[in-house]
Structure 1
Amino acid sequence: MTITLLLIAVLATVAGVWLLRQGIATKPWLETGVAEEARTPPIPAAKIGLAVFIAVATTLMVLLLSAYSIRREMADWSPPPRPLLLWANTAVLVVASVALHAAVRAVRAGDREGTGNALLAGGVAGLVFVAGQLLAWRQLAQAGYLPAGNPADAFFYLITAVHGLHVLGGLVALGRVGATLRRGARMERLRLGVELCAAYWHFLLLAWLVLFATLAFSPSFDWLVALCTAPFR
């Protein structure tokens, strides 16, 4: 529980800093400029919505990891082998994140073709990641490691499935932005959508790195518990 509260506090701090950088704390009525600019919201509602969604998704991830850490201390815990394919899948997700970063740079420069190519590369990499995860599941299932076999097996499938669903959501968002691009929308209109997609895919990469490190190496959080509880001893 201490770990969960600490991670949620860190998340709230990061989200607050991000929103401040986006301009949520600005006071447009005190700034010089035309009246029309003063009535313009300092931050798009879509960005606030994405920040809230990421906060919820991160909280879910923290709860899953907390449950994972507690459950693995029991005697019947027997983790399955980690398919080497997971390393390749991680590299593919890095490629997707880099591609979306390139898409942001392209759309800000007004490069329509570059934006389209980067979005396509990110989408393909995302699809490859999902296919790779399904293949990793198949390898484990063929080796006899099924969700009903052991609590560790069940946690592996649950954690990777939750992350996979978030990746599928990111692919849907990418598809919508790509469709808007193909319809010939202005680059100014595309910019917000591309930036939101990139931010979400960066979050997906960060979340997967944490989840993968936990699943692959089973790090001990005893030191963190001791650090957090030390002031109350």
Structure 2
Amino acid sequence: MTIVVAFLVLVIGIAAWWLSTQRIMSKPWLEIGVIDEPPGAGPPAAAKIGLCVFLAVAGVLFALSISAYSMRLQAADWWPLPAPRLLWFNTGLLILASATLEWTKAQSRHASLDGVRFGLVGAGVFTLAFVVGQLVVWRELVEEGYFLASNPANAFFYLMTGLHGLHVMGGLVALARVTLRAFSADEVGVERGKLRLGVELCAIYWHFLLVVWLVLFALIAGWAGDFFEICRQALS
């Protein structure tokens, strides 16, 4: 549980820092300046705060899953399943999706509508390919006899990858809405502010998905055993 507490402190610290940079405590009625200030100069949008809260809750959920995993793998009946090579390819796809959305965010700041459209479609394609790749991994493991109820390690693998997959699918719904908004926007700049906000939120969410997946991949590949032991010794 000490690992979970440390992770929660880290998540809360990052959330507090991010909120402090968004001028949460500012008083707009006391601000001095023109009315038509740039969108980034005022208080943060409610959507950004909502996403930050959601990511904190999701981070806690994954932290609890990782903590349960770290405690359960010490049992005698734990037989780790092999990490399929396809997981490496899937990881590359998610990295490309996250990088593409970061590039798309830069395009939105430069008011390049074509670049935004291209980036959103590209990120969607990479992410869909990641989801399909994860399903293929599941099918391969089942065909090799690694069933859900066969071993606790199998159950944790399907649980954590499935939980991550659900978050990815939810992000795809939001990404599809932003993509439709991008293709319905005109070159004059109508709804451009909402589009820029949507791209930024998607980029933040995809970076979160990537970080979580890298941690899960380290667990699945068996690299995290020594790390957990170091954490236990450091926090004991």
TM-score (norm. length: structure 1): 0.93
In structure 2, what is the equivalent of residue 206 of structure 1?
211
CA apart distance, 1:181 = 1.4
Query: Where does residue 47 of structure 2 map in the other structure?
Result: 46
**Map of 2:32 onto structure 1:** 32
- Among 193, 217, 229, which residue is 1:222 paired with? 229
Count the aligned residue pairs.
Answer: 227
Deviation at 1:35, TM superposition (A): 6.7
Write the distance in 2 (CA, Å) between the matches of 1:196 and 1:174: 9
Tell me the residue number matched to 1:130. 131
* Shift in Å, 1:31: 2.8
**Runs ≥4 in structure 1, deviation > 6 angstroms?**
none
Alignment match, 2:83: 82
Is 1:115 matched with 2:120?
Answer: no
Once residues 173 and 86 of structure 1 are traced to their aligned partners in structure 2, the CA distance between those partners, rounded to angstroms, is: 25
Task: Compute the displacement of 1:148 (Å).
Answer: 0.8
SS in 1 for 2:224: coil
Residue 219 of structure 1 and its aligned partner are, at CA, apart by 1.7
Structure 1 residues 76 and 23: alpha-carbon distance in aligned structure 2, compared to 1, 3 A threshold: same
Q: CA deviation at 1:36?
A: 8.2
Q: Could you give the per-residue CA deviations for residues 168-220 of structure 1, whole angstroms, max 9, x where no partner exists?
A: 01110100001111222532221111100010001100110011011112423
2:6 aligns to what?
Answer: 6
The amino acid that maps onto 2:171 is: G
**Partner of residue 21, structure 2:** 21
Quote how far apart the aligned CAs of 1:21 are: 1.8
How far off is 1:225 after superposition? 1.7
Rounded to whole Å, the distance in 1 between the matches of 2:34 and 2:106 is 29
Q: Report matched runs for 1:129-148 at 5 Å.
A: 129-148=130-149
Partner in structure 2 of residue 177 of structure 1? 178
- Report the Cα distance in structure 2 between the residues aligned to 1:92 and 1:70, rounded to whole angstroms: 30
Q: Aligned residue for 1:149?
A: 150
* Cα distance, 1:194–1:4 mapped onto 2, change above 3 Å: same
**Residue type at the aligned position of 2:52:** A
Q: CA deviation at 1:2?
A: 0.9
Q: What is aligned with 1:164?
A: 165
Structure 2 CA distance, aligned partners of 1:206 and 1:33?
39
How many angstroms apart in 1 are the aligned matches of 2:184 and 2:162? 33
Larger mean CA deviation between 40-49 and 117-126 belongs to 40-49
Q: Give how far 1:55 is off.
A: 0.4
Task: In structure 2, give the amino acid aligned to 1:11.
Answer: V
Counterparts of 1:154 and 1:53, CA distance in 2: 26
Alignment partner of 1:22: what SS? coil
- Between the aligned partners of 1:190 and 1:77, the Cα distance in structure 2 is 48
Q: Matches of 1:175 and 1:22 in 2, distance apart?
A: 27
Amino acid at match of 2:214: L
Per-residue CA deviation, residues 109-144 of structure 1 (Å, 9 max, x unaligned), is 110000000000000000000000000001100000
Give the aligned CA root-mean-square deviation in angstroms.
1.6
Counterpart amino acid of residue 5 in structure 1? V
Amino acid at match of 2:176: G
Structure 1 window deviating more from structure 2 (166-175 vs 176-185): it is 176-185
2: CA distance, partners of 1:210 / 1:23: 31
